[in-house]
Amino acid sequence: MKYTILAVDDELDMLKTFESILHKKYHLLSADSAEAALQKIEKENIDLVLLDIRMPKIDGIELLKIIKQTVRDLDVIMISASRDLSSAIEAMKLGALDYIPKPFEVKELLAIIEKALEKRALVRENLYLKAVLAQASSYCDLLGNSALMKKVFETIDAVAKTDSRVLITGESGTGKELVARAIHKKSARSSKPFIAINCAAIPDNLLESELFGYERGAFTGALERKLGKFELASGGTIFMDEIGCMSMAMQAKLLRVIQDAIIDRIGGTASVAVDLRIVAATNIDVKKSIAEGKFREDLFYRLNVIPIHLPPLRERKEDVPLFLEYFINKFNKELNRQIKGFDQEAILTIKNYDWPGNVRELQNIVERMVTLSTNPVFTKEEVERAVNLSGTIVEIPVNLGFSEAVANFEREYLKNVLNEAGGNRSKAARTLGIARTTLISKIEALGLD
């Protein structure tokens, strides 16, 4: 997309000069009077004005005043054959971006124009980032302006108005719990509890008591009644993460909760009615688990009333600058630092990386860099050191198929991280920003055991 520049000068030869210099790189509009210029500013989306000071009727200084009163963010570069410094000083006081005397050097003019447009692009990008980051509070810090994430936000808005069950799918670290929290926050249940439980993090023999609760004396050590997550979430929302790791026996009990809206505490004699919305999430292929006899098909269809798929970060890299801005602000506040951000090469390096741990891995990397760096602006080299923990580059043969190349990269990358962690899988999972169960699954799938 070309920037639009408006050249304003009462001399036709000067307008032709601007045309010859600028027409190839920019969309150039011309005006030979202040009146004509104002008409074009009103009708066109103009990025920069080149304005002659000496013009009949309304001169450049008066036109500059009008422009700054009506379109405050429109940058104006003043151009004049006069060597009178008072005009230049007045123009700068009124908000002119720069002042160029005639005759001017073409290279100098082009450099000033390019600098002005870079500034305008930066201002626009900052306004865009602030607008999207302001929106983040509505979606519980779930960020994104890509088409894929806009679709997710639309679904959240639609499903929040109902009590329909939701199944969120996506790789570990993509923000599935944030989606669940956003649905709850926007729903009529928002004033009631939001209870989250990770089904993969709790052994199966303890998961039942966590979910259903128990009565005093139900087993050794049950000294008093304990309410389970289902009962605590009644009236609100329960978020069941890693639902695919739940045993078949527990799946059957969950199915009864969904069908009958009642629970039985362990050791209890009376059923307890519960009014809750279930939002479940998984990073596994549920249909494959069904085929393998590891997940109940009837439970899947009960949970999957409204499916929401969260795309991995590598499929929405246009959202990366948003996350960088957000995490820099977050960790500057938490760690009392004053990091300004990333240079362009560093951002490009981040975009080119596939982020197997998704947003959680990116967050961990930014936190590490903010904590350890002595530079106010992060460079490409710092990003490479932070991301590639082993200091080695994974070489991928170019004659491999795409899927095989990705698997090759993941295999070598996980080897490096595991080596750095001394073989400690929990530590490696934390470094990657993924669940330990996800890491174990990847290790087995890639033959690293």
Q: Are 295 and 182 in a shared domain? A: yes
Assigned domain for 357 exists: no
Assigned domain for 359 exists: no
How are beta strands 226-227 and 213-214 bridged, if at all? antiparallel
Assigned domain for 156 exists: yes
Q: Are 42 and 155 in a shared domain? A: no
DSSP string, 10-68: S-HHHHHHHHHHHTTTSEEEEESSHHHHHHHHHHS--SEEEEES--SSS-HHHHHHHHH
Helix axes 358-372, 380-387, angle to 10 degrees: 120
Task: Please state which of the ranges 53-57, 170-174, 318-322, 333-337 shows the lowest mean pLDDT.
Answer: 53-57
Q: Are 120 and 158 in a shared domain? A: no
pLDDT at 389: 43
pLDDT at 198: 93
For position 111, which CATH number holds?
A: 3.40.50.2300
**Chosen domain end from 110, 130, 150:** 130
User: Cα separation of 5 and 75, whole Å?
Assistant: 10
Assigned domain for 30 exists: yes
- 380 with 345: CB under 8 angstroms? yes
pLDDT at 377: 92
Q: Are 154 and 294 in a shared domain? A: yes
3 state SS of 278: strand
**Chosen domain end from 107, 130, 153:** 130
For position 249, which CATH number holds?
A: 3.40.50.300
Average pLDDT on 293-313 reads: 95
Average pLDDT on 61-84 reads: 85
User: Cα separation of 229 and 268, whole Å?
Assistant: 16
pLDDT at 179: 95
- Containing structural domain, residue 436: 389-449
| Structure-block tokens of residue 17 | 């000069």
Minimal CA–CA distance to 36: which of 5, 2, 70, 6?
6
Task: List Cβ neighbours of 133 (8 Å cut-off, separation of 6 or more).
Answer: 143, 322, 325, 326, 329
Assigned domain for 195 exists: yes
How does pLDDT run across 160-184, given as a tens digit for each residue?
999 999 999 999 899 999 999 999 9
pLDDT at 208: 93
Q: Are 293 and 393 in a shared domain? A: no
| Structure-block tokens of residue 18 | 């601007």
* Helices (runs of H) and strands (runs of E) counted in the chain: 19, 16
Minimal CA–CA distance to 50: which of 113, 108, 95?
113
User: Cα separation of 94 and 387, whole Å?
Assistant: 47
Q: Are 126 and 146 in a shared domain? A: no
| Furthest C-alpha separation in the chain | 98
Task: Please state which of the ranges 168-177, 259-268, 413-422 shows the lowest mean pLDDT.
Answer: 413-422
Assigned domain for 135 exists: no
Average pLDDT on 132-138 reads: 59
Q: Are 205 and 306 in a shared domain? A: yes
**Chosen domain end from 89, 109, 130:** 130
Q: Are 84 and 63 in a shared domain? A: yes
- 256 with 265: CB under 8 angstroms? no
| CB-CB neighbours of 334 under 10 Å | 11
Q: Are 162 and 114 in a shared domain? A: no
What sign for the dihedral angle of Cα 312, 314, 320, 326?
A: positive
pLDDT at 193: 93
Q: Are 18 and 84 in a shared domain? A: yes
- 76 with 97: CB under 8 angstroms? yes
Q: What is the average pLDDT score of the chain? A: 87
For position 409, which CATH number holds?
A: 1.10.10.60
Q: How many domains does the chain have?
A: 3
pTM exceeds 0.95:
no
Residue type, 410: E
Q: Are 169 and 304 in a shared domain? A: yes
How does pLDDT run across 105-117, given as a tens digit for each residue?
888 889 999 888 8
Given a cut of 70, whether residue 401 has pLDDT beyond it is no
Which residue is it, tokens 């649905």?
A: 183
Minimal CA–CA distance to 66: which of 80, 119, 57?
57
Q: Are 24 and 107 in a shared domain? A: yes
